[in-house]
Structure 1
Amino acid sequence: MARPNASELRQLSDADITEQINGLRRELFDLRFQQATRQLGNTHRFKQSRIKLAQLLTVQKERQSSTAS
């Protein structure tokens, strides 16, 4: 999973960002479940997913604060 640039994320629509955020939250849930049952082989996926989620949440928050101002 290649990490997109912040500029690429800013070009996404609000609906796309929300959809990706929900998908990543679900993926993190599944990864935690796999880790608990010792089925997870690639533990680095946690970090990748958390970083991408943080980037998306940052872009979403920027948009919310810019519309509020």
Structure 2
Amino acid sequence: MKASDVRAMTSDQIADELEKLKKEQLNLRFQQATGQLENTVRVRQVRRDIARLMTIARANSASAAE
């Protein structure tokens, strides 16, 4: 997911995507704990996507407050 894609989203879309990624992160952690995780790179990608979404959401709310 690119930052430009996230900036084009509304705040509701960002919240939905954030919820989806957090669920995926939880599932990946369970897979890793049980030894069933095949794509280990996906854990890092999801973590970074969550951070990207939260950063842009915070910037959007800060600019809206001004």
TM-score, normalised by the number of residues in structure 1: 0.88
User: How far apart, in 1, do the equivalents of 2:61 and 2:22 lie?
Assistant: 20
CA RMSD in angstroms comes to: 0.9
Once the two structures are superposed, the pairs formed by residues 1-69 of structure 1 within 5 Å of their partners are: 3-4=1-2, 6-69=3-66
TM-score, normalised by the number of residues in structure 2: 0.92
Segments ≥4 residues shifted beyond 3 Å: none
Higher helix share: 2
What fraction of aligned residue pairs are identical, expressed as a percent?
38
Unaligned runs of 5+ in 2: none
